[in-house]
Amino acid sequence: MALTGDYKLISTEDMLQGHAELCIHAYGFVKSMALKCAIELGIPGAIHGNGGGATLGELATIIALPPSRLPRLRRLMRVLTVSGVFSVQHQQPDDSAGDGMTDDSRFVVEVLLREGRARDVFSGVRSMVDVGGGTGTIAKAIAAAFPHVECSVLDLPHVVAEAPAGGEVRFIEGDMFEHIPPADAVLLKSVMHDWRDDECVKILRRCKEAIPSREAGGKVIIINMVVGSEKSKGNSTKKEEAQALYDLFLMVFEGGEREEHEWEKIFLEAGFSGYSIIPMLGIRSIIEVYP
């Protein structure tokens, strides 16, 4: 999304709302795919035959779905409920059993720099490595806005080969599963949803090795969705719908977005002591994770 013209006259909330609606249109085809899948699984008939309602566990049993597929059923039903095909009356805790990327990065940076809390995120940070940062769109913007932060980008050799030479950002070839260069903070934007939980734990452990203690200001900064966070705060259903659509879209690639309890689980498994969620990016949030 290129930001041109009089975009500065638009409020941050309007920009984020527009971004959510853009995501809904971009991934709108997922709705018809989800409905087709539900019909083929016999979900409408199963719910009707169960008295007009069913928990995820009951639904999985009725349609003879293997237990290992329950998380995917939850994601499918999330799309169908936020889209208005089905409704949720009560959810038990056990039910929770390129160019485009560059434009998206510019959008995220624009919102970050317009919000005062961004300064809190980078306060006290002297060095930062952007893992999977591509050609450095975000790192360059952060370096320009916060001159005291020494910014680096870690990415695969073929990506770094396309990065512009010179400038205030250092580019490093490497594999995030093997080693992450030391820094006060490690940035992971739209990285974690591409990987399984066990793979995310490996990435986070490498991050933990790269940063100093919490007392010394060490932290991991994650920019990703926290699914359901908007509902819990009574915010826009458009954002919730966009989250659900994108999450189901990622399932095609074996990826997925996470709810807060799922984030917490991988943080603890990776050995981190705590985290905080800053819901300031519309359908996405900033998650600070502390060693």
Cα distance between residue 246 and residue 8, in whole Å:
27
Cα distance between residue 35 and residue 47, in whole Å:
14
Residue 282: φ, ψ to 5°: 70, -115
Q: Residue 19 in contact with residue 282, Cβ under 8 Å?
A: yes
Taking only the tens place, the pLDDT of each residue in 206-219 is 999 999 999 999 99
Does residue 29 belong to any structural domain of this protein?
no
Does residue 248 belong to any structural domain of this protein?
no
CA dihedral 270, 274, 276, 281 (to 10 degrees): -10
Domain that holds residue 282: 99-231+256-290
Report the domain count for the chain: 1
Cα distance between residue 87 and residue 45, in whole Å:
15
Ramachandran bin of 69, using left for φ above 0, alpha for ψ from -120 to 50, beta for the remaining angles: alpha
Does residue 33 belong to any structural domain of this protein?
no
Cα distance between residue 56 and residue 110, in whole Å:
39
If DSSP codes are grouped into helix, strand and coil, which group holds residue 1? coil
Look at 152-156, 275-279, 287-291 and tell me which has the smallest mean pLDDT.
275-279
CATH code of residue 272: 3.40.50.150
Beta bridge partners of 174: none
Q: Residue 211 in contact with residue 182, Cβ under 8 Å?
A: yes
Judge residue 4's burial from the number of C-beta atoms within 10 Å of its C-beta, 0-12 exposed, 13-18 middle, 19 or more buried: exposed
Q: Classify the C-alpha dihedral 155-156-161-162 as positive or negative.
A: negative
Does the pLDDT value for residue 105 go beyond 60? Answer: no
Q: Higher model confidence: residue 131 or residue 56?
A: 131
Does residue 19 belong to any structural domain of this protein?
no
What does pTM read for this prediction? 0.59
For residue 279, give the DSSP letter.
E
Average pLDDT on 158-187 reads: 90
Does residue 180 belong to any structural domain of this protein?
yes
Which residues touch 260 (CB under 8 Å, ≥6 apart)? Answer: 226, 228, 229, 277
pLDDT confidence bin for 269, thresholds 50/70/90: very high
Whole-Å CA distances, 73 to 56, 57, 92, 250, 282: 8, 10, 15, 14, 25
Does the pLDDT value for residue 2 go beyond 90? Answer: no
Beta bridge partners of 234: none
What pLDDT does residue 1 have?
39
Look over the chain and give the mean of its residue pLDDT values, rounded to a whole number. 78
Cα distance between residue 183 and residue 126, in whole Å:
8
For residue 147, give the DSSP letter.
T
Does residue 114 belong to any structural domain of this protein?
yes
Does the pLDDT value for residue 227 go beyond 80? Answer: no
Does the pLDDT value for residue 198 go beyond 80? Answer: yes
Does residue 14 belong to any structural domain of this protein?
no
The set of catalytic residues is: 193
Does residue 73 belong to any structural domain of this protein?
no
